[in-house]
Amino acid sequence: MAVTAPRFYHATAGTVDLARGIVYPYNKDGVRSPIQKIGVAVGGAVKVMDLGNVEYTWKIGIKGENETNRDALLTFLSHASINYAENTFTFYPEGIAGSSYTVRLWDITGIDFPRTKANLYDIEITLRKEIT
């Protein structure tokens, strides 16, 4: 069954299906960020220190979500089994049937999501794909 809007799942915390789709532009595979420290040594030689695997993150924006789903997502993220960024959960992106990613919440600032017109909410979160 195709997922038509974002889904968040955890065996203990449950499932949250949002009603609205992700705002585009949206990078299906996440934003690729190499983990490297780059500098210039004496004499101008470039030095690069490779600190690990490439990270993938998604900035997820959803406009006009209803209060019930907004509250369900906040409850899901604050559940003791997830505890915001502490533990992972499964993310099913919009419109990608059968695709799922093990992720964690990566930016915990501004997690209350502002109310907009008509008592709807704009959700913006950053998720990090776990390296397995």
> Which of 19-23, 77-81, 104-108 bottoms out in mean pLDDT, i.e. has the lowest?
19-23
Cβ contact 101:94 at 8 Å: no
Cβ contact 73:16 at 8 Å: yes
Residue 1 clears pLDDT 50, i.e. is over it? no
Backbone φ and ψ for 69, nearest 5 degrees, come out as: -70, -35
Domain extents in the chain: 7-26+33-129
Residue 117 clears pLDDT 50, i.e. is over it? yes
Q: What pLDDT digit, counting tens, does each position of 26-69 carry?
A: 677 777 888 889 999 988 999 999 888 888 888 888 899 999 99
Residue 2 clears pLDDT 50, i.e. is over it? no
Closest CA to 48 of 35, 64, 63: 35
- 3-state SS of the chain is CCCCCCEEEECCCEEEECCCCCCCCCCCCCEEECCEEEEECCCCCEEEEECCCCEEEEEEEEEEECHHHHHHHHHHHHCCCCCCCCCCEEEECCCCCCCCEEEEECCCCCCCCCECHHHCEEEEEEEEECCC
- For residue 65, the Cα-to-chain-centroid distance in whole angstroms is 16
pLDDT of residue 96: 55
Q: Which residue has the higher pLDDT, 132 or 54?
A: 54
Residue 15 clears pLDDT 70, i.e. is over it? yes
Residue 129 clears pLDDT 60, i.e. is over it? yes
Residue 95 clears pLDDT 70, i.e. is over it? no
Tokens 């924006």 belong to residue: 61
